[in-house]
Amino acid sequence: MKKWQIAVVMLLAAFGSWFGLNTQAQAKTYTIATDTTFAPFEFQAKGGTYKGIDIDILKAIAKKEHINYKLKAISFGAAVQQLSANQVDGVIAGMNITPERKQTFDFSNAYYTSGVVMAVAKGSKIKNFSQLKGKTVALKTGTAGATYAKSIQSKYGFKIKYFNDSNNMYNDVKVGNSAACFEDYPVMSYGIKNGIALKIVSKQYEAGDYGFAVKKGKNAVLLKKFNKGLKAIKADGQYKKIVDKYLHSSESSLTGETASSRTFIGLFTQNLSTIGSGLWMTLELTIISIILATIMGLILGVLGVMPGKLGPAISSTIIYIFRGMPLMVLAFFIYIGFPDLIGHGFKIPAFVAGMITLMLNEGAYTGAFVKGGFQAVDDGQMEAARSLGLPYWTAMRKVIMPQGIRIMIPSFINQFIITLKDTSILSVIGIVELTQTGTLIIARNFEGFKIWLMIAIIYLIIITLLTWLSNWVQRRIN
Amino acid sequence: MAKVVVKDLHKSYGDNEVLKGLNLEVQDNEVVCMIGPSGSGKSTFLRCLNDLEVPTKGQIVISGYDLSDKGTNINLVRENIGMVFQHFNLFPHLTVLQNITLAPIQLKKASKEAAEKTARDLLDTVGLGDKADAMPKSLSGGQKQRVAIARALAMNPKIMLFDEPTSALDPEMVGDVLDVMKDLAAKGMTMIVVTHEMGFAKEVADRVVFMADGLIQETGKPEDVFDHPQSPRLQDFLNKVINV
Ligand SMILES: Nc1ncnc2c1ncn2[C@@H]1O[C@H](COP(=O)(O)OP(=O)(O)O)[C@@H](O)[C@H]1O
Ligand SMILES: [Mg+2]
C-alpha cells in the first residue's frame, strides 16, 4: 500500500514540477475560464471560437488595459472549482455575486444585472410555482437559478434534477421529463429567440449582479485592471454596443449560419472543422492512453504472477484501487484534487490529467486480465522452461508471455474499445474531445438529435476500424 | 564421488510432510528406477533434485554442487540435469525444432545454426527426423514425449530425470519411448526414472528404489527387489501392480 502511494506521488510530483516551471516562465499571461454553453454570455461560434457578452467584454477590457490572457472554456462547475484550486486566474461566466461566493472569491464591480425566471415547455399549462407540486424541476448546477429554486423547493414541494449544461436542462423540459427549469432571464430569452421550444412564465426574481471573479486574496492587479477597463468601456459606449448586439439578435446572424445549413449534411459540413478537432483529440487521447495502459497493464500482470509475496501484493492493490474508482472521480481527483493537495500553484494540464486518468484506470483493467492470462498458462510450462536452465525472466519472455498474450488478445481488443469510449468522460475536466464537441455545437444551434446522431456514427466508425485493425493483428500473431 | 548425493531430505507443504528424511547416492552411469504408490512423494523428490521445489531440510549435492548453498548458480546446475515430465510440457507456440533449440540458443550454448544441427541429429536418434517443423499439437503422445527427451538432451545434460514418462501414453506408444530411454542408458547416461514399467526396470535398472510414505523403504538390484521383496509394504505394492 505505502510503496505504490509513494510511487504515484513521485510520478505526479515530477510532472508537476515540470509544468510548474513551464507556467512560471510565462506568468504574464492570465488564464481566464468561462462556461461552454451559456449563450448569450458565452457560446461557441462556427469554427470553434467563442463569442458572447462575457467574451466580448473581456476582450474589450483586456485591450484597454493591456491584459494578456488565454481563454479556457470548460463547464461552469469545473471553472469555479478550478478557480478555487488555483488552476485558473479568473472566471467570467455569467457568475452571480453572492455572499457565499465572496467567502472564496474576490469579485469585480458588477458588469451585468439579471434575474431568474421560470420556463416551461411551449404547450405546458404550468403558470405559477404552486403548480409544480410533486413535479420535477430541471436545474443547472451552480447557477443562480438553481439557488433560487432550491430556496423555494420546500414551500412548493417539487423534486429537483441537476444538469451540467443549459442545453440538456432545456431539453429535459422540452421532452417533458421535467416540468420547468429556472434560468437567468437573458440566457433564457436568447435561447427561446433561437428556437428552444420553451416559454417564460414568471417575472424576474432575485435580481443579481454578474461579476468577474478571482480567487480571494489573489490576482488583485488583474481585478483592478478589470474594474478600470469596465468603467472605460461603459464610458465610451462599447459596453452598450456589445450587450445590444447579443440581446437583440438571433444566433444565426452572430454565427453566420443559414437555414439551409440545418440539414444533416449541412450541419456536418458546417461543423466539420470543430468535429474534426474533437475527433483528433479523442484519437490522440485514445492512442496515447492505450499505449500507456498496455505498458502499465503488462507490468501489473507480470508483478501479479511473480514468485514471492511483494509483487502480487503491489499488483493487486493497484488494480483494486484504480479499477474500483469511477473514472470521473479519478479524473477530478487528478485534475483538481491532487493540485489542491500539493498547493504552491501547482497545475496539471487537462490533457495530461486525462491521460494519467485513463492510464491508471484502463491500466488496472488491463493488469487484471494480463495477470489472468499468465495464470491461465499451464504451470508445467514454467517448470519445463526452468528445468532446461532458463532464468525466470527468459522463461517468462520466451515461454509464458507468448502463450499468455495469445489468450489475452480478445480482452485487449475489448479494452481498446472501452478506452476509446471512456475518453468521452474526460469532457468533465474540460477536454474538448468528440463528445464535448457535440455539446458545444448543440449549445449554439440546439440541433440535439442530428448532432448526437452524427457523433454516435463517428464513434461507431472508429470502433469498427479499431476492431478491424485488432482482428488483423490477431490473425498475424496466430 | 557420487553424481547425486541426497542426505536426510525433508519436504513439507504446510503441515503435510511429504518427504521424511531420504538418503540416496547415485553413481556415474548408474540407472536408478523408483517405484512406489501414488502420493508417496516420488515426483516431489525428483523436483527437489533440480530445485523446482526447495527442500525444508537436508542436503542435495549434484556433480559437486550443493543446492542449498546460496552461492550455487541454480541455472547452471539445471543445465546439467535434463528433466522429462509425465505430461511432456512441450511449448505449444513453438515448432518441434524451436522447442529443442530454445534453451541452447537463449543460454548461448550454441549458435543458431549449430543448435539446429544438434536438434536435427537428436530428432533422428529419437526417430522423428521428419517432424522438425511440425507444431507439438500435431504430434501423438509418444512423439511428444520423444521430442521432450530430445529437448532435454539438447542441453547435453550429465543426469536425466524421468517422472513417469510413459504414464500418460496409449499402450502402443510406450515401447517407442522406452526404446529411446534404453538407448540412452546403454550410452552411459546417469538416469533416475520414476516408472511403473516393471519390465523396463528389470531390463535396464542397475538399482530399484521403493518409496512409500515419504521414505525409501527398500532398495536393491532389480531381481532382488522384484523377486524377493523384503518388506510387507513392497510385497503388497507389487501384488497390486502385477494384478492390474
Ligand atoms: N505443490 C504442492 N502443494 C501441496 N501439496 C503437494 C504439492 N505437491 C505435492 N503435494 C503433495 O505431496 C504428496 C506427494 O506428491 P507427489 O510427490 O506428487 O507423489 P507421487 O509422485 O509419488 O505420486 C501428495 O500428497 C501431494 O498431495
Ligand atoms: Mg508423481
Residues A170 and A195 sit within 8 Å (Cβ to Cβ): no
CA A251 to ligand 1 centroid distance, Å: 80
- Residue A85 Cα distances to A11, A13, A332, B159, B182, angstroms: 20, 16, 11, 69, 79
A468 CA: distance to closest CA in chain B (Å): 24
Three cell numbers, residue A438: 457535440
Show residues of chain B in contact with A403, CB under 8 Å.
Answer: 91-93
Q: Nearest 5°: phi and psi at B190? A: -80, 125
Task: Write out the H or E segment, with its range, that includes residue B81.
Answer: strand B81-84
Domains present along chain A, CATH in parentheses:
27-111+211-256 (3.40.190.10), 112-209 (3.40.190.10), 264-477 (1.10.3720.10)
What DSSP character marks residue A217?
A: T
- d(CA A413, CA A474) in angstroms, rounded, equals 9
Q: Which residue has the cell 466580448?
A: A56
Q: What is the pLDDT of residue A26?
A: 44
- Do residue A388 and residue B155 have CB atoms under 8 angstroms apart? yes
- d(CA A171, CA A166) in angstroms, rounded, equals 9
Q: Could you read off the pLDDT of B81-109 as tens digits, one per residue? A: 999 999 999 999 999 999 999 999 999 88
Residues A163 and A36 sit within 8 Å (Cβ to Cβ): no
Residue of A nearest to B50 (CA): A387
Q: Note if the bond before B165 is cis, omega within 30 degrees.
A: no
Q: What is the pLDDT of residue B69?
A: 86
Protein residue whose Cα sits closest to atom 1 of ligand 1? B13
Contact status of A128 with chain B (Cβ, < 8 Å): no
Three cell numbers, residue B85: 515430465
CA A250 to ligand 2 centroid distance, Å: 85
Which residues on adjacent β-strands are paired with residue A213? A91, A107
- Classify domain B1-240 at the CATH topology level: Rossmann fold (3.40.50)
Kind of pairing between the strands at A105-107 and A213-215: antiparallel
Is B5 strand, coil or helix? strand
- The pTM (predicted TM-score) of the whole model is 0.72
> What ipTM describes this predicted complex?
0.92
Choose among B83, B92, B103: nearest Cβ to A390. B103
As separate numbers, helices (DSSP H) first and strands (DSSP E) second, chain B gives 9, 10
- d(CA B244, CA B236) in angstroms, rounded, equals 13
Residues A76 and A141 sit within 8 Å (Cβ to Cβ): yes
Task: Write out the H or E segment, with its range, that includes residue A106.
Answer: strand A105-107
Domain-by-domain residue ranges, chain B? 1-240
Q: Which of left, alpha, beta for A216 (phi over 0: left; psi -120 to 50: alpha)?
A: beta
- d(CA A289, CA A283) in angstroms, rounded, equals 10
Q: What is the DSSP string of A321-349?
A: HHHHS-HHHHHHIIIIIHHHHH-TT----
Three-state SS sequence of B203-220: HHCCEEEEEECCEEEEEE
In chain A, positions 406-445, which contact chain B (CB-CB < 8 Å)? 406
- d(CA B22, CA B219) in angstroms, rounded, equals 12
Show residues of chain A in contact with B52, CB under 8 Å.
Answer: 383, 386-387
| Best CA proximity match to B83, nearest among B6, B162, B145, B4 | B162
Q: Which residue has the cell 530445485?
A: B51
CA B56 to ligand 1 centroid distance, Å: 14
Protein residue whose Cα sits closest to atom 6 of ligand 1? B13
In chain A, positions 383-402, which contact chain B (CB-CB < 8 Å)? 383-391, 394, 398-399, 402
Angle of CA points A478, A292, A78, to nearest 5°: 135
Show residues of chain A in contact with B155, CB under 8 Å.
Answer: 388-389
Residues A44 and A440 sit within 8 Å (Cβ to Cβ): yes
Q: Could you read off the pLDDT of B55-68 as tens digits, one per residue? A: 999 999 998 889 98
Residues near ion ligand 2 (CB < 5 Å) are B 43
List all residues whose CB is within 6 A of at least one atom of ligand 1.
Answer: B 13, 16, 18, 38-44
* Torsion angle, alpha carbons of A272, A274, A276, A282, to 10: -150
Residues of chain B with pLDDT under 70: 1, 243-244
Residue type, A405: I
Rounded to the nearest angstrom, the gap between the alpha carbon of residue B66 and the centroid of all alpha carbons in its chain is 19
Q: What is the pLDDT of residue B9?
A: 96
| Best CA proximity match to A278, nearest among A76, A431, A447, A452 | A431
CA atoms A155, A158, A164, A166: torsion sign: negative
- Residue B196 Cα distances to B37, B242, B243, angstroms: 9, 10, 13
Q: What is the DSSP string of A349-412?
A: -HHHHHHHHHHHHHHHHHHHHHHHHHHHS-HHHHHHHHHTT--HHHHIIIIIHHHHHHHHHHHH
Grouped pLDDT means (10 residues each) for chain A, 478 residues? 54 50 57 86 79 92 92 83 87 89 92 91 90 92 86 92 84 89 87 84 86 93 94 92 78 53 79 88 94 96 92 96 93 85 78 94 96 94 94 94 90 91 88 86 75 93 89 80
| Best CA proximity match to B43, nearest among A242, A147, A365, A380 | A380
Tell me how crowded residue B20 is: count the other CB atoms within 10 A of its CB: 15
Q: Which residue has the cell 463569442?
A: A51
